[in-house]
Amino acid sequence: MNGDPTLERIAQGNGLALCAAGPWTAPFASLLEAIVSDAEKLAGSRPNIFIDVSQISRLDTFGAWLIERLRRSLTQGAAEAKIAGLSPNYATLVDEVRRVKTAPPDERPAVTITGMLAQVGRSVVNVSETFIGLIDMLGAVLAAAGRVFLRPRDFRLTSTVHHLEQVCWRAVPIIVLITFLIGCIISQQGIFHFRRFGADIFVVDMLGVLVLREIGVLLVAIMVAGRSGSAYTAELGSMKMREEIDALRTMGFDPIEVLILPRLLALVIAMPILAFLGAMAALYGGGLVAWLYGGVDPEAFLLRLRDAISIDHFIVGIIKAPVMAAVIGIVACVEGLAVQGSAESLGAHTTASVVKGIFFVIVMDGVFAIFFAAIGI
């Protein structure tokens, strides 16, 4: 008996004996499967077939099942294939696999054109559900805020401060660095192109208006959506997965009040601060490049900046910040609470949180632009 399992065919009168030998175990599964599939073709060739398993050195579930499968395929009509030479050690195992009845059900539904169309339809319907979900959450948050306003003792100051540290204080270095670099790049590009018209100094106008009105707050919002929105979704999502949110609810706490309100409030406070710091860093970076690269000295830069921009530009920018923060926060919380039981679902909702957050931030920015244009600022 060498290392590999075998299945020998021995003719006996009008019958056939299939002698299995060697280790019929999992490590040899692919070989065993080939042997058995081959032997299954013998079905019906002889009136009397039996499987002799007395020479098997080791047997496990794989081997036992393949022998059982062979027995079933060889059994045709009245001619029942039998298993002979089964040692009592293995009898229980073979009995066990004999209980495997039906062929297992199909794994996945087939991909059809109707199925794909149905998927598209479902996605479109889900868009409206997204909006309803957001409005739902907005309402719930406002209601919770109202309750907390009437009973200030329920306000979770510690939690709010904790989240403020996470989303504001710890975000400062990266936000300042990135906006500083963007300021540098805008200034450098502006000078490079304006120089051809001898209009170097107008780079200050462009930088001031762009940074204070649009880029500053938009960039910060996108950073916050990626940094804090995703964190909110992941936190709430894993709490949902571990039934922590259900636990809170059963203890008589409102998860919106305990978990979501402090997070949203922290974000709404953090965003204007970050947007302001970001705008200053961008202006500083732009000024630095204008000085070193464009030869606009700081005094001229500041004088020009004072002429070019008014407080309106700054207000237009900063007023958008808390609104965008609220949008990012609400999207993140809705997605967090929508997480189902699996790790995959957590990943999908965190992605959706960031993607939708950034999308809505840009949409809001457009809406604000139209609004400010209409009122003439």
Residues within the interface to another protein (CB under 8 A): 25-27, 29-30, 33, 54, 56-62, 65-66, 69, 87-90, 92-93, 96-97, 99-100, 102-105, 107, 241, 340-345
Give the shortest CB-6-to-another protein separation in angstroms: 15
With respect to another protein, which residue has the nearer C-beta, 34 or 181? 34
With respect to another protein, which residue has the nearer C-beta, 45 or 92? 92
* Strand segments (E) across the chain: 6-12, 15-24, 48-59, 82-84
Give the shortest CB-338-to-another protein separation in angstroms: 14
With respect to another protein, which residue has the nearer C-beta, 12 or 54? 54
R_g of the chain computed on alpha carbons: 36
Query: Burial of 329 by CB count in 10 Å (0-12 exposed, 13-18 middle, 19+ buried)?
Result: buried
Give the shortest CB-38-to-another protein separation in angstroms: 13
Cβ atoms of 283 and 216 within 8 Å: the answer is no
With respect to another protein, which residue has the nearer C-beta, 193 or 242? 242
Give the shortest CB-337-to-another protein separation in angstroms: 15
Give the shortest CB-344-to-another protein separation in angstroms: 3
- Residue 49, sorted as left (phi over 0), alpha (psi -120 to 50) or beta, turns out to be beta
With respect to another protein, which residue has the nearer C-beta, 58 or 193? 58
H or E element at residue 347: helix 343-375
CB neighbourhood size of 286 (10 A): 31
Cβ atoms of 203 and 220 within 8 Å: the answer is no
- Residue 20, sorted as left (phi over 0), alpha (psi -120 to 50) or beta, turns out to be beta
> In this structure, what are the phi and psi dihedrals at residue 333, rounded to the nearest 5 degrees?
-70, -40
> In this structure, what are the phi and psi dihedrals at residue 114, rounded to the nearest 5 degrees?
-60, -40
Q: Coil, strand or helix: which one is 312?
A: helix
Give the shortest CB-93-to-another protein separation in angstroms: 5
Residue with tokens 């947007």: 275
> In this structure, what are the phi and psi dihedrals at residue 111, rounded to the nearest 5 degrees?
-80, 120
Give the shortest CB-282-to-another protein separation in angstroms: 41
Give the shortest CB-12-to-another protein separation in angstroms: 21
Give the shortest CB-108-to-another protein separation in angstroms: 9
Q: Which residue in 279, 258, 271, 259 sits closest to 228, CA to CA?
A: 271
What tokens does 11 get?
């003719």
Cα torsion 186, 188, 191, 194: sign: negative
Pair type for strands 82-84 and 48-59: parallel
